[in-house]
Every structure is written in C-alpha cells, then in structure tokens.
Structure 1
Amino acid sequence: MTDRPLAEKIALVTGATRGIGAATAVALAKAGAHVVCVGRSEGGLQEVDDNIRAVGGSATLVPLNLKDSDGIDRLGGALYERYGRLDIYVANAGVLGPLSPLGHVFPKDWEDTVAVNLTANWRCVRSFDPLLKLSPAGRAVVVTSGAASKARAYWGPYAITKAGLEVMARTWADESVSGNLKVNLFNPGPIRTLMRAKAFPGEDPSSLPAPEDAAEAILPLCLPTFMESGKLYDFPQKKLLRFQMPA
C-alpha cells in the first residue's frame, strides 16, 4: 500500500466527533482522502479537524444530528453539487440506548434509538447510494456490533436496531452486486470508547484496543482494491466472514 492510496478520494464518516468515527476520519485523511466529518458536536468536529490537519489531511465539517432527515437529504445534494460523487462512506454513528428490560423501556427512548441506529442509516443510504454509484470504486462500511447476533437480557433496543442495520447492509450489498459499489459490515468488538464505558462501567479501559486500532482495520475495506462485498469483518477475530444465509 502506498502512503496515500486514497488521494483525491472523497470520504464521509458519521459519528466522527469521537471514538471509532474520529479515529477513522483521521486514518482516511492520512491515507489521502478529503474527509467529510459528520457529527453533532461542533467542538468535537473541530478537534478532529485539528488531528486531520496534523497528519497533513483535509476535512469538511458538517454539524448534523442524524435524526434530521431533511438535513441528510441536503447533505447529499451538497455533496453532489460540490464533488459530483462520493467514494467512501463509513456509517459509524450510533447510540447505546437504554439498558433495560424491554417492558420497562420508555417509548421516547425506544424511538430515539431506532431513529439513530436504524432510520438515520436508511436515510443516509437513500441520499448517498446514488453518489457512491457515481464513483468508479464506491466503498461503504457499516459499523455493527456483536450484539446484533445475540439476544442478551436488557440490551434489547441496541441489539434489535443493530440486527436491523445488518440486514439493511446485506440488502444494500445484494442490490449493488452488479456495479462498482461494495458494501461491507465491520464489527469492532470491545473498544476503548465512551459508549463501551457507559455499558460496562467497571471494565478497565486499558485492557481494550484503542479506536485507532479499529480504524486501521476499517481502512483496507475502503480501498479501491478491496473487491469483496456483502461480508462482515470481525475485528476481534481479525477475519472477513461470509454472511450465513438460510437455504
């Protein structure tokens, strides 16, 4: 791999203000991409921009709450007007939601979790799919979780929305099989993030991989030379897995 294999590429990362999203934005910029950083916190975006500049990269900062569906549509239009395409999309934004028995989850908390983890990602697909297909080598990486394949008590809203997200990504990949767009899932596993600390407050964060480690594993999935699609890269196992499809 050359030092800047993504030179002249346009990348977009959601949830880019911290954790895996921020680290991925910096990794993509270091590899040469111009990164559109999407996040809710202007302060967090400015910090990421500083880190991108420190590695010689460039970024466009987009303060946006992904529950703003019209804002996602406007962003898609703005990207088309400015660049005419999108080369890389990393769907990283997500919320933990309430850790509670299903019958005790408040309707607003359920709706907020679905809105961010599922509906917002569909709106992003709707807005960015045409742009990715205008790229000679569009690459989409959807960040999932091991919780999607488990039915663990008290994790209902998060696990259910991540399971839906996985099916959405698999469907998108199957719909894109005949073109240049490749869609894959990435499971980071336990990573040293604020979300992980919220879910497991007694855990020693120093025992976990850093977000930068996950970002380095996401980067190869974004390269024009990566030709797999409809797969899941499991970071804890360091393996690219084929979806288990029913007969």
Structure 2
Amino acid sequence: MHMWDDWARTARPLNGKSAIVTGAGRGCGRAIARGLAGAGARVCCAARSEKELAETVALIEADGGTAMAFAVDVTDLAAVEAMTVAAVTAFGGLDLLVLSHGVALAVAPIESGDPVDWRRTIEVNLIGSYHCIRAAVPPMKARGAGKIIVVGSGQGHNGTAATSAYASSKAGTWALTRSVAAELIGFNISVNELLPGNVRTQLYDETFAQTVAMTPDGGEPISAKRSHEWLKEPDDVVPLALFMACQPDVGPTAQSFSLMRRL
C-alpha cells in the first residue's frame, strides 16, 4: 500500500462524496474505484462486463466500502444518462467522475489498419468521454462543485507508430478536458487529465504484443525502448488519482498530472 493510500484510508477525506468510475471492471479503473471507496467515497462502478463489475464491487465491499455496479456502453448516450441518474438516485448526488474506460483497436500502420476499428476507438475513447461528462455536469452543478478526472495517455501528446487511432482519441480527450474546464471554471467544477504512463493492464499487454512487428526496424515496440519509463501496476496510479480527487473546490483545472518520467 502506498503512503497516500494509507493516509486516505485513515483520514477518509472523501466521506460523503459520490463518484462514478468508468472502466472499473479491471485495471486502472478498478484500482481507482477501490482507492476512492477506501477514502470514503460511494462509488458507482461502470463498465461493459457485469461479471468484472461484480468482482470490483465485491472487493470494495470486502474492504468496508460502498459501491454499486452499472453495466454500460459509453458510446450509448441514453445508457450513460441512465447510469448517471442511477448513481445520483442511489447516492444523493455526484461529486466525482473518473473516466478510465478505453480501447486500443486498429493498432497498425495507417494504410493497413481496419477503418471500422479506427472509428470504434474514437467512439469509445473520445465520444464516450463526451457522453459521460455531458451527463455528469448537471448533477455537479446542482451540487455546487465537482471534479472530473480524465485518464489520458502520453500517446495523446506524442503519438507513436501504429497507434494513430488511440493517439488521436487521447489527443481529443486532452482537448476536451481543456475546453470543458474553461466552460465549468465558474461552477467550481474542475476538469483535469491524469497521465498514468505504461501500466501493466490487459490493454497495455495487448497493445504491446501487437506493435512488436509494426515498429520501423521490426524490433521492440517503441514504448519498450523508453528505458527511462517505468512499468507500473494499476495500484501505482491510485495515489495520484486520490491527490486529484482531494484538491479544493477552487483548485487546479485544465491541467495534466503525470506519472510519466517524461512525455
């Protein structure tokens, strides 16, 4: 357990707060959902897989936290709105939104990648994030404050070979973060990006494997050549997520907080 996690579980700085975490079925989303719950928040865990969500909720409840599951496809605006209403109804409001969902399809050179997969990546990562933020803003305004944390990627700041779909989607969410932050700054609603860097998740493992044969020299994936970077576990992302969630209402917004050693 990290020192920040230990403090959060002792101080319970998020007592009385309600959160939605997308991508909570596994990986960083699951770890962040558990971290927020450990700090006292009531968490709506959202993802597509009911089985994985049930496992996340069971882990949170076993730790003494409060959570609910909502299976949702973030590309479906009506479903996202229903999820938000369910969370607000169950918890009495919404204070935190963490967007940790994501796919990395069409991992291939631009001329050989599947256009359907390319579009789907944009739909899930960017349009799905738009749907979630759009639905979360009214209950946050009603609350008088809120925090939106968008889990981004260094690819959105500096794309690499064979990742044009993923990089474009994450560049879009970074632009979305800054634009919405400017809209909401007068409502005490902050919108910030969390850059986790390389994290050992199913998404990372699948992308890592696919890019081996697609780099210019046919060798290791470009990401693996970044010897200065550190490969994290999902729990390593939690302290930064908690730090961002615990900032004051009039706090940083339109910022990118990074666990990467450099972009």
- TM-score, structure 2 length as denominator? 0.84
Give RMSD over aligned pairs. 2.0
Q: Partner of 2:132 in structure 1?
A: 124
Gaps of 5+ in 2: 1-6, 210-219, 225-229
Aligned match for 2:234, one of 193, 197, 211: 211
Name the one with the larger helix percent.
2
CA distance in structure 2 between the partners assigned to 1:5 and 1:24 by the alignment:
15
Aligned letter for 2:43? V
Q: Partner of 2:70 in structure 1?
A: 62
Q: Partner of 1:171 in structure 2?
A: 179
Give the drift of 1:82. 4.0
Give the drift of 1:64. 1.1
**Contact 1:138 1:224 (C-alpha < 8 Å) held by counterparts:** no
The answer to whether the aligner puts 1:223 opposite 2:231 as a matched pair is no
**Contact 2:42 2:91 (C-alpha < 8 Å) held by counterparts:** no
Aligned letter for 1:175? E
CA distance in structure 1 between the partners assigned to 2:170 and 2:232 by the alignment:
21
Give the drift of 1:15. 0.3
Give the drift of 1:83. 4.1
- TM-score, structure 1 length as denominator? 0.89
Instruction: Specify the SS of the correspondent of 1:99.
Output: coil
Aligned letter for 2:162? Y
CA distance in structure 2 between the partners assigned to 1:97 and 1:152 by the alignment:
14
Give the drift of 1:79. 3.5
Q: Partner of 2:214 in structure 1?
A: none
Range moving further from structure 2, 78-87 or 211-220: 78-87
The answer to whether the aligner puts 1:234 opposite 2:255 as a matched pair is no
What's the % identity of the aligned pairs?
34
Deviations 1:143-171, CA, capped at 9 Å, x for gaps? 00000112322110000010011000110
**Contact 1:173 1:183 (C-alpha < 8 Å) held by counterparts:** yes
Q: Partner of 1:245 in structure 2?
A: none
Gaps of 5+ in 1: 242-247
Aligned match for 2:53, one of 42, 45, 48: 45
Instruction: Specify the SS of the correspondent of 1:195.
Output: helix
Give the drift of 1:69. 2.0
Instruction: Specify the SS of the correspondent of 2:168.
Output: helix
Give the drift of 1:84. 4.6
Q: How is 1:1-247 mapped onto 2 (pairs within 5 angstroms)?
A: 3-201=11-209, 208-225=231-248, 227-237=251-261
Give the drift of 1:97. 1.3
Q: In structure 2, do the counterparts of structure 1 residues 77 and 223 end up closer, same or farther at CA, with 3 Å as the change threshold?
A: same
